[in-house]
Structure 1
Amino acid sequence: MNAQNLKRQSINPPSTQVFYDNFHFSQATRVGDMIWVSGQVGIDANMTPANGIEEQAHLAFQALKEVLKSAGASLVDVVELMTFHTEVQGDMPAFAKVKDHYFPDRYPSWTAVGISQLALPELRVEIRAVAVAGCGDA
């Protein structure tokens, strides 16, 4: 692999520019075929948290999907998920059901962590991912 392929690229879909501008982080960073996606949460276009774990999980996975697309990848390229839950025991069955909708087979590795709080008090889950562009096509 030549050095040109190893240049660091910040990924910020237009709908996420507010995060980059206000909080100074990229939604994802790509180096070569590797993509590290920042935590995605269940908020709508007005920055309002969705109600309930299933709705938040769907919005977070949709955001993950959008960031991956902007990085030249898709959900099939995800090799690792890390999820952070404020109500891990109570929410896990519903969250797992939503996760299985987005990953019906070829499951990525997954670590779920219980935490006391996320950036907004109404948020119940945050999803990080690592992907390798093109690996899901094989």
Structure 2
Amino acid sequence: MINPPHTLEKYDRLHFSQATRVGDLIWVSGQVGIDPATQTPADGMKAQTRFAFEGIKTVLEAAGASLTDIVELTTFHTDLRGDIAEFVQVKDEYLPDRYPSWTAVGVTQLALPELMVEVRVVASAGSGDD
């Protein structure tokens, strides 16, 4: 189980790990657009997407991997058609090439009413070194 120090309170309170690593495979729990300094949802799709990818980056680093090791991306959007273009712009800043498999799902709600997107990934440590 992978839980960076700043996430231990969430692990204790909600009983889930930020990631699980088995061999080289790493499953990262869904990351959302919450500002870790204020613990409040960011304003807008671009800002929420950045916070989600920064969370993924932090968790992968704690697991001994990086963004280039992502092999699968699953995203959950409360306005899939309306926000997908802004999401893709930011996603491409974090994943500029070696695009992983991706499934985007429209949902009616996420954990907080202000949240617009949740991002989960599967990574294979070291695969981005190819």
| TM value normalised by structure 2 | 0.98
Q: Aligned residue for 1:6?
A: none
Q: Aligned residue for 2:4?
A: 13
1:93 to 65, 85, 107: 85
The alpha-carbon deviation at position 32 of structure 1 amounts to 0.4
Q: Aligned residue for 2:29?
A: 38
Mapped pair 1:53 → 2:58: no
- Structure 1's consecutive aligned runs of 4 or more residues displaced over 6 angstroms after TM superposition are none
Q: Which amino acid aligns with 1:20?
A: Y
Provide the C-alpha distance between the structure 1 equivalents of 2:52 and 2:8, rounded to a whole number of angstroms.
Answer: 16
Question: Number of residues paired by the alignment?
Answer: 129
Question: Aligned with 2:41: secondary structure?
Answer: coil
Question: Aligned with 1:51: secondary structure?
Answer: coil
Q: Which amino acid aligns with 1:21?
A: D
Question: Aligned with 2:119: secondary structure?
Answer: strand
2:59 to 67, 72, 82: 67
The alpha-carbon deviation at position 18 of structure 1 amounts to 1.8
Q: Structure 1: 5+ residue runs without aligned partners? A: 1-9
Q: Aligned residue for 2:18?
A: 27
CA-based RMSD of the aligned residues comes to 0.5
Q: Aligned residue for 1:134?
A: 126
Provide the C-alpha distance between the structure 2 equivalents of 1:120 and 1:12, rounded to a whole number of angstroms.
Answer: 22
Question: Aligned with 1:120: secondary structure?
Answer: coil
Q: Structure 2: 5+ residue runs without aligned partners? A: none
Provide the C-alpha distance between the structure 2 equivalents of 1:51 and 1:11, rounded to a whole number of angstroms.
Answer: 28
Mapped pair 1:82 → 2:81: no
Structure showing greater radius of gyration is 1
Q: Which amino acid aligns with 2:25?
A: M
Mapped pair 1:125 → 2:117: yes
1:106 to 98, 101, 117: 98
